[in-house]
Amino acid sequence: MPQLPTAPQTHSAAVPDCVPATVTAEELCDVAQALIHSRQNISPKRLAAPGPTPVQLEQLLAAAAAAPDHGQLHPWRFVIIPLDKRALLGEVFAQALIERDADATPEQIASAREKAHRAPLLLLAVAQLGPAEPDIPALERMVSFGCALQNMLLSAHAMGFGAGLTSGQAMRSGHMQKLFTLAAGEHPVCFINIGTASKRKLQQARPGPWEFTSIL
pLDDT digits (tens, 9 = 90+) for 61-116: 999 999 999 999 999 999 999 999 999 999 999 999 999 999 999 999 999 999 99
pTM greater than the 0.85 cutoff? yes
- Asked whether the beta carbons of 166 and 191 are under 8 A apart, the reply is yes
Res 14: pLDDT = 72
* Domain ranges within the chain, ordered by starting residue: 42-83+118-197
Whether pLDDT at 10 is above 60: no
The beta strands (E) that lie in the chain are given as 47-48, 76-80, 121-128, 162-166, 186-197
User: Confidence class of residue 135 from pLDDT cuts 50, 70 and 90?
Assistant: confident
* 42-83+118-197 is a CATH 3.40.109.10 domain: yes
